[in-house]
Amino acid sequence: MKLISWNVNGFRACLQKGFEDFFKSADADIFCIQETKMQPDQADFSPEGYHKYFHSAVKKGYSGTAVYTKNEPKAVTYGLNGAHTDEGRVITCEYDDFYFVCCYVPNAQNELKRIDYRMEFEDDMRAYLCGLDKLKPVIYCGDLNVAHEEIDLKNPKSNVGNAGFSDQERGKFTELLAAGFADTFRRLYPETTGVYSWWSYRFNARKNNAGWRIDYFVVSERLMDKVGDSKILTDVMGSDHCPVQLDITI
């Protein structure tokens, strides 16, 4: 299976920047997106052969996730066991052999003013994933809004304590991995540097590759031997993020 995740930073805008061409050429079995910034009826994109599921925020033009999948899931749920539904951040698709969870993790924001909510979300997400994992293996992906280690961003020293690279956020990701999950890209490429999935629109950051790796495919530990590759598609434009891809036999 080929799985793709992409924070499009506004789906309608990305549709004007080549999204459809990339979607068709990728031919993914599951293609999920984050930061749709729209309601379902605003999506002028219904590719043939795919089932589509949207989870939009109550606040218009904010957050939001979507999943396009060739194989119809057995069940689709939104949020975390009925919680964290207002911002449209989580879609879970259940298949015969695994759960697929698309997520747009809340940003802690400047001066970490939303860190308390972020920590609550992280704890609830970890508990949720662990609960799913007891039933069948989990593939968890999306914009997780954290660079886990110094190797995961260009300028770690100057970003210590900033949103996405605070001790609190990095610690929660460590806790998730310790609970029985694997960061597929870093597991396969433990020493690879200079590969990022997000760049600021300021200071020519993408041109200078001054980026962060904050988009992930995380899987249940017992799925790692089924992972063929985990890729960061840095050449794909259209957003301040690039897509990430997981090739897996399941």
Tens-digit pLDDT profile for residues 37-58: 999 888 789 999 999 999 999 9
- Using DSSP's 3-state secondary structure scheme, residue 206 falls into coil
The predicted structure's pLDDT at residue 167: 98
Euclidean distance between CA atoms 41 and 37, whole angstroms: 12
**241 counts as catalytic:** yes
Give per-residue pLDDT as tens, 117-134: 999 999 999 999 999 999
Nearest of 135, 152, 141 to residue 176 by alpha carbon: 141
CA dihedral 94, 230, 118, 136 (to 10 degrees): 30
The single residue of 104, 128, 140, 196 carrying the catalytic annotation is: 104
Q: What is the pLDDT of residue 215?
A: 99
Question: What DSSP designation does 202 have?
Answer: S
Annotated binding site: which residue ranges?
7, 35, 143, 145, 240-241
What's the confidence (pLDDT) of residue 41? 83
Q: Mind listing the domains of the chain with CATH numbers?
A: 2-248 (3.60.10.10)
Is pTM beyond 0.95 here?
Answer: yes
Q: Taking the CB of residue 87, how many other CB atoms lie within 10 A of it?
A: 20
Q: What is the pLDDT of residues 163-212, one digit of tens each?
A: 999 999 999 999 999 999 999 999 999 999 999 999 999 999 999 999 99
The one catalytic residue among 68, 133, 143, 216: 143
Q: What is the pLDDT of residues 53-110, one digit of tens each?
A: 999 999 999 999 999 999 999 999 999 999 999 999 999 999 999 999 999 999 999 9
Active site residue 143: yes
**How far is Cα of residue 150 from the mean position of the Cα atoms in its chain?**
19
| Average pLDDT of the segment spanning 132-158 | 98
Query: What integer pLDDT is reported at residue 40 of this predicted model?
Result: 85
pLDDT value of position 229: 98
Whether residue 155 has pLDDT greater than 90:
yes
pLDDT computed for residue 166 by the predictor:
98
The mean pLDDT of the chain is: 97
**pLDDT the model gives residue 31:** 98
Q: Is 104 an annotated catalytic residue?
A: yes
- Least Cα distance to 132 among 95, 184, 170 occurs for 95
Stated as kind and residue range, the H or E segment containing 15 is helix 11-15
Annotated binding site for Mg(2+): 7, 35, 143, 145, 240-241
